[in-house]
Structure 1
C-alpha cells in the first residue's frame, strides 16, 4: 500500500471526529489526495487494516514530542533572549509562512475556479497568485488562460523578487472580496526563476516549450536559466541507483511501461538496471505487447512519475541536482 492509502485506512479507522482533527493540520493538497483515496477505497480486509495500525503504532513508538508546538517555544525563547522588539522580525523570518492570507484559500480551489477568478486581473497579479499555489495546481490553472497571458505571467513569475507589504496587502484585499484572511501581512518571498521552472514542469507536453521559446525571444538569458532548472523525464538518468530504486517502489509497472515508450534509451537502461531481471523482462514484454499508444497518454504517465519524483525530493528522500548546481 502507498503512503496515501495507509493514511486513508488509518483515518477511516479513527472515526469522524478524530479524523477531522488530524485533517485540520494538513495542507490542502494532502487533504485532497487523502480524501479522494478514502472515497474510492473499497474492500479493505481486516488484515490490511491491522497491518496499517501496527505499522503506525511501531512508528509512533520511535518518535518523541520534540518539535511539537515548537513555534511557541521558539517565540518565547527568542523574546526572553532578545526582548520583544528585537525578536519580532527574527521570529517572522524563522516562522515565515505561518500567517494566513486570503491567498491561502486559493489552494483549496479547483484550478479552473482559480483561472476564472484571476482571468481579468493584471498579469502581475496573476503571477503573484500563481506563485502562491502548488506548481501542479498553478500549471493547471495557467493552461486555462489565453496563450499570450500564459507567456506574460510566466515571465513575470521568473522575474519576481519578493513582494512589498503594500502590494501584498492590495492583492489580499482583492482576494478578500470572496475570502476572509489576515491583514497583518509581511513582505513575502515568492516567485523567481525556480518557481517558473517548477510550474512549467507540470504543463502539458509542448506547452512548456512554446512558453519557453517566447520567453527566450523576449529575454534569452532568462529563458535559458528557466530551462536549466526544469526537471524533465529524461533527467531521471541523473538519479543514483539507490534513489532510482526508491522511486521505482512508488511507481506501478503499468504506468512505468507507458512512460518509457517516449523515453531516451539511457533512461530505459537506467530503470531496467535497477529492477530485478525478471521484473525488467516482464516490463519490456508488456511494452512490446501493448502496441501503439497515444502520445498524450505517454506524456501523462511521465508527468505522474515526475510528480512522484518531485514529492520524494521535497520530502528529502532523494535529491535532484539541477543543471549548473553543485552536487555534494
Structure 2
C-alpha cells in the first residue's frame, strides 16, 4: 500500500493503463495529445513491478473517481455525496469528492450543457459575438454545432473566428456570463475559472454542422483570415477518417491519389485503415501495394505526414466537386 501512495499521478495512470490492457490503452492514447502520449509512454516503459495490492488500490481509486463524476453529472454534487457516502462511507466519499474539486472547477457552464439548444439559442443569439463564442466554447460540440447552424450567416463566421482565436478568458468575465445565463435558465452551478476555445474547439463544432453551414463559415472566414481557414481544414478531416467514407468514395480516392503517397500513408496507418483501403482494391493491386510497402523498409513518422495530408487534400477536393460525400452530423437536427 505504501508503494501505491508514493506514486505520482502520471505513474498511477501508467499502472492503470497496463492493468486495463493493450486495447484500452491504445484507445486512450488516441484521445490524448502527442505530448501526453509521450509522457505516459515514458512512464509505462519505466514502471517497475507493482505489487497486486498497489495495483488493486489504483484500480479502486480510478473506479471511485469515475463513479463520482457520473453521480455529479447525473444529479449534482449533493447527490454524488449522498450516493458515495452510502457506497463508501463518509470519510472516503469526502476524500473522493475533494480529489475531484479542482477538475470540477474548470468546467464552466455545466448547467448549460444539460439545456435544450433551442432554449440556449433564444438566450444568446442577440448577445455580443464574443459572448456567444464564449458560451459555445464550453458546450458539447454537437450542442454548439446546432446553435451555430441557426445563427445568421455573418454572425456564424464571426463567432467561429472568435472561438478559434480565443486564448483565455478572465474568470470574472466567465462568472458574470455564467450568472446571467444561469439566471435565465433558472439552474444552478458553481465554477470559477477555465480555459476555452482554440482551433480544436471550432473544428469539433464545425464537424457537427451541415455542409452548407460549414462552407458559408469557411468562405467568410477566408476573407479575413485565410491562414486560419487552412489550419481548420487540415484538422477537420485527418487521413484515418478515410474509414468513414463509403466504398465508392474510397475507390475514387485510391484512383485519384498518388500511389506512392498512399503507400507511405498506409505504412504507419492503423490496421483498420489498412483493411478498409486494401478491401477496396483488386486482389492483384492489394498484393502489389503490400509488396511495395515491404520493400520500403522502416519509415519515419514525419516522412508520412505530408503524403497523408496530400491524400486528405484529394478527399476534400473531391468533396468540393461533389464527387464524394463526407458523412457529417447536423443534417436533420439543425435548429430552424
What's the TM-score bracket when you normalise by the shorter of the two chains? 0.3 to 0.5
Q: Which one has more relative contact order, counting CA pairs under 8 Å at least 6 apart?
A: 2
Bigger Rg over Cα: 2
TM-score, scaled relative to structure 2: 0.47
TM-score, scaled relative to structure 1: 0.48
